[in-house]
Structure formats: C-alpha cells, structure tokens
Amino acid sequence: MKASLFERVGNFTPINYTRVERGGESYSQTEKFTRRTLQLCVWTYKRLQNTNQTARLLRDVIDFVLRRYHKYAIAENFGGHYREVGIKPGEKTDFEHVIPAALARDLLIHDRLTVEEAMNIPTCMVRKKNHKKLNSSKLSKTTPDIFNFWDRYKILKVKIETHDGNPVDMENWNLEQHYKYFNVE
C-alpha cells in the first residue's frame, strides 16, 4: 500500500549536503560530468525526429551545462581565459563569453565544435562598463567573425592579455591560437 503524501513529506528533514571544497578534484569531476552530459545531450538531440519542444529542452540543458561549467571551472577557478589589461583589484568586472555561449551550443550541436572546444570557448574578464558597451552594441548575442573572435571587441579599443599575463595580438589571435594556447584538442 502506498504511503500517504503526509507520511512521505510530513516529517521530511531537509538534507544539509556537505559543501564541496573547490580545487583540483572538484574541477576534474565537473569537467568529466560536463563532458559526459554534453555528449549525451548532443547524441539525444541528433536522434530526434523533429525539432519540437523536446529539442528546445535539450538545447536549454546544453546551454545550462555549458554556462555552469564556464562559471564554475573557468570564471571561479582562474577568472576567464583572457582579461582586459589594467583592471585594478576591486574594480567592477564581468565574466564575458567572447563567443556567445548560445552560439557555442549551436556550433556543438551541428558538429562545428567538439565537446572539448565548446567547453573552452574564449571567455574574458572585462570592466563592467565595457561589457555594457558590448551589450548595447547588439554584439552580446552574436560575433561578426567566429574564427577571428576578437573582432567584436574592436568597439571597445582595449588591450587584452591571457589569464596568466601574456599579451594578446587581437588582430592575429584567432580561435586556432586560442585552442592551441589552452591545449584544447
């Protein structure tokens, strides 16, 4: 006999999950989980008979998983692949997808990026005012040239460096150099 709803939830005590210590092991687990989840979602998406609500839900899951990975394993780990030069400690900044995350999702679904590449699309820490400028220019949802991804930053007139302080030649640093620099295969 099935227990009543009251019996099932009436005396339920919320679970106090152990807080995960951020570090090498948690980032490794996040990376493995993200890779497997993206592979499964893309595999499922490609087997759909039509692009109905199920397809929309799968795109939403892929979007969520990619963004969660980028926030946790990139933004909260080392701040972003790149950063605007000269940001002072305490200055208001935003974590920015240089190639919009939704575009990376679509490139992944349509076999233009691998799972590893989608997980490591270029991200950048920029001053909040510059992020607003990108958003108001309508460049937050697209990029003029995916391969030469720094093209969308031309309106900012800023200098960019890698997260570890190496200067970036925004005229010649393209997606191929990005993946080579960050050892993405």
Q: Of the candidates 105, 108, 81, 106, which has an alpha carbon nearest to the alpha carbon of residue 95?
A: 81
Q: CA 6, CA 129: separation in Å to the nearest integer?
A: 52
Answer whether residue 131 is part of any domain: yes
Q: Is residue 167 part of a domain?
A: yes
Give yes or no for a contact between 153 and 170, defined as CB atoms under 8 angstroms apart: yes
pLDDT of residue 146 exceeding 60, the answer is yes
- Beta carbons of 102 and 60 less than 8 angstroms apart: no
Does the pLDDT of residue 152 top 80, yes or no? yes
Q: What is the mean pLDDT of residues 52-70?
A: 95
14 in any annotated domain: no
Number of domains in the chain: 1
- Domain housing 153: 22-181
DSSP 158: -
119 in a structural domain: yes
Q: Decide if 115 is inside a domain.
A: yes
Examine residue 5 and state whether it is found in any structural domain, yes or no: no
Query: For residue 8, what pLDDT band results from cuts at 50, 70 and 90?
Result: confident
In a domain, 7, yes or no: no
Q: Which amino acid is at 1?
A: M
What are the pLDDT digits (tens) for 10-60? 888 999 998 888 888 888 999 999 999 999 999 999 999 877 899 999 999
DSSP code, position 112:
S
Is 126 contained in some domain?
yes
Query: Which value, to the nearest 10 degrees, does the dihedral of the CA atoms of residues 89, 93, 99, 104 take?
Result: 100
Report how far residue 4's alpha carbon sits from residue 171's, in angstroms, rounded to the nearest whole number: 66
Quick one: pLDDT at residue 114?
A: 97
Q: What is the pLDDT of residues 92-112, one digit of tens each?
A: 999 999 998 999 999 999 999
Q: Is 30 within 8 Å of 66 (Cβ atoms)?
A: no
Contact 103, 118 (CB under 8 A): no
Rounded to the nearest angstrom, the gap between the alpha carbon of residue 76 and the centroid of all alpha carbons in its chain is 12
